[in-house]
Amino acid sequence: MGAIGRQECNRVCGAVSAGRFPPYLNTGFSDLETSGHETVPWAFLNIPPKKVDNMNAISLLGRALVFVLVLVLCSATSSECRAQADTLRPVSDEIRFEACLPNQNDLGYPLPLAAHWNSGQLKGGFNPKYQMEMIKKGHFLLPWFQLPDPYSTPLDSDYYEGPIRWAAKEGLPISFLSTQWERYLTDASEYFSLPTDRNPNVVNWKGSIEKKVSPFGPIGPWEDLGRKWGSTQTLRKIQRLYPAPPLVLFISNNEHARLTWNDAEDSSRYLKEFDPGKDTDFKRKVVGDGWIERYRALQKGIVEGLDAKAWKQSSRFIGYDAFGPGAFGRSGGWIKYSLYIPGRFEPWPLAWDGGSAPYYVDWDVTADYTVQSPQIESMNWVFMLKEAKRLNPEFRFEISAWDGHEEGKHIDMGKYFADRGQVYDPKRYQGMVQFGMWLLRPRVVREFRLYNDTLTKSESYFLSIVNSVDRVHTNPILRKFWRKGQLVANPSGSHPYESAIPEEYKKAVRWFLLDANVNPKSFRYLSTEVPVFSLALVLGEAPEREWLVYTHSPLKKMDKVEISLPGYGPVQLDVTPAGCFYHVIEKDKSLGKLPE
């Protein structure tokens, strides 16, 4: 089999294993030359393209024969395909492969891609032209655009056209960012002024309509609004420019005001359907069930509004913070903000195709060098991610990263650090973000900045994420451990967030911080400083195991830190704010630092 045949074999095998079929197996032969896909199997089937037009009469049979032949070829060379399956591909191919790789596959975890919340609507931002240039330079980005808003003036066509055409040429997945789609159920008078029996917002016990959506209101407006989002003229034009992307992600900011379970009895609809005085589990369940139904209706409407069949099939919906609370167990009050019920830690994996969890240094003084930190809090997400995939096996998990810097705000984390004599630069940011990456192995690492931020102000921080993602793809050791490494729990300690833990999660493994001789003996207090954050992944079985150790020290470089590696013993490592990777091999007791 020649090079082209091997490449196509790998591509088709990967698609078939994921339950997808290449477009040329879903179309008549006469359509192949104009389907927009450059790679077709003629090169190894020895069928000249010029003869394709003569095959219309047997197109259905031909498709079946092509499919069977491809499977036979893949089977005959299965060992060759598998051997090549995880080699680094050309950048666009790599992006497409990893974005489309299902959670459940033989390779392991899909490799991460970098993205952003700033869509470059304003001059100097992270616009699509910038993104495409980054991909051309060899960076692994999942392209993002601003989703056309049915209630706002559309962006200039130049914002979309060139980048969309190039993305189509390269066969790239694409994504669209936006405000929370349901906000117009409240903000648009055509919905907010509806009579109470047709109004999607909260109708309180006095009969007044409140400015927040209800999990007990009519579903029709949700679908109707979704169709408006999916049928804008700009989005229709984009579909004509790129009719068959392999994947389209619609990403919502997901922060619109909603009725909480604590206030369920303020809703006249709730009181009409249920008796007052129900327990908290009951309220959390019916509220969560209501959101599942309504957010899926909203998404259904968006799909119905789309024109292109391929878009309808390849669209997935991601909600910011559509996951579980990192503050799980931090205080007894965490449950007030959760929709946990026994057997379901949150409803969101059933309401969305994925979630972008906030891995933030934030206004609540969540720093990167204390117990109250993204690194410690996100250890809760390890068991939650397993729960999410139990509820929705193809749940697309990503993290949103932020350094908390927002100039002029009451609590600006940049100022917070500076007031304490600390330097918070892109290297330190990288160290924190990489810890979350290797703890959770998200599909996307998406940086948050405000809509009016610019490359001049913050590109250096984004590049620290881009470089961290690139390393996973290009370094064979990192690539191997990301795919198949098992996260190492630290049995000598336990997570310090222990308040109001539900019975079913009391034995959940939540502690992955490795012991270090410079760290405190107790992590009881939120303000306790943690000089070194370290974690490990392991491959193989004793006595031939190997570990990848990641370690970073937010405040300063530290030499010869003794870190205890469970199952192996102590190792001495130099640690930096930007983070360091070490490869430990059990058989020969070797320890090597990976190049930066």
pLDDT at 25: 40
Helices 476-484, 455-474: crossing angle, 10 deg rounding:
80
Query: Edge to edge, what strands does the sheet with 486-487 contain?
Result: 486-487, 533-539, 546-552, 580-585, 590-593
For residues 574 and 395, what is the distance between their CA atoms, to the nearest angstrom?
A: 37
Is this structure's pTM higher than 0.85?
yes
Q: Which residues contact 63 (CB under 8 A, 6 or more apart)?
A: 25, 26, 27, 28, 29
pLDDT at 408: 76
The tally of CA atoms less than 13 A away on the side-chain side of residue 272 is: 11
For residues 157 and 143, what is the distance between their CA atoms, to the nearest angstrom?
A: 17
Check: CB of residue 86 under 8 Å from CB of residue 443: no
pLDDT at 284: 98
pLDDT at 583: 98
pLDDT tens sequence for the chain (596 residues): 433 334 444 444 444 444 444 443 443 333 333 333 333 332 333 333 333 344 444 444 454 444 444 444 444 444 444 445 689 999 999 999 999 999 999 999 999 999 999 999 999 999 999 999 999 999 999 999 999 999 999 999 999 999 999 999 999 999 999 999 999 999 999 999 999 999 999 999 999 999 999 999 999 999 999 999 999 999 999 999 999 999 999 999 999 999 999 999 999 999 999 999 999 999 999 999 999 999 999 999 999 999 999 999 999 999 999 999 999 999 999 999 999 999 999 999 999 999 999 999 987 778 999 999 999 999 999 999 999 999 999 999 999 999 998 887 777 888 889 999 999 999 999 999 999 999 999 999 999 999 999 999 999 999 999 999 999 999 999 999 999 999 999 999 999 999 999 999 999 999 999 999 999 999 999 999 999 999 999 999 999 999 999 999 999 999 999 999 999 999 999 999 999 999 999 999 999 999 98
- How many other CB atoms are found less than 10 A from the CB of residue 489? 17
Check: CB of residue 29 under 8 Å from CB of residue 48: no
Fold classification of 93-474 is: TIM Barrel (3.20.20)
**Residue that is written with structure tokens 């359907």 in the block:** 273
CA dihedral 494→500→504→509, nearest 10 degrees, is: -20
The tally of CA atoms less than 13 A away on the side-chain side of residue 81 is: 25
Strands 113-116 and 354-360 come out as unpaired
Please list, residue by residue across 228-243, b when 16 or more beta carbons sit within 10 angstroms of its beta carbon and e when fewer do.
Answer: bbbbbebbbbbbebbb
For residues 146 and 159, what is the distance between their CA atoms, to the nearest angstrom?
A: 9
Boundaries of CATH 3.20.20 in the chain? 93-474
* Tokens standing for residue 540: 């193989």
User: What does the chain come to in residues?
Assistant: 596
Check: CB of residue 121 under 8 Å from CB of residue 451: yes
For residues 398 and 400, what is the distance between their CA atoms, to the nearest angstrom?
A: 7
H/E element, 383: helix 380-391
pLDDT at 44: 30
For residues 92 and 114, what is the distance between their CA atoms, to the nearest angstrom?
A: 13
What totals of helices (H) and strands (E) does the chain contain, helices first? 21, 17
Residues facing 571 on adjacent strands:
563
H/E element, 213: strand 209-213
Instruction: Give the CA diameter of the chain.
Output: 77
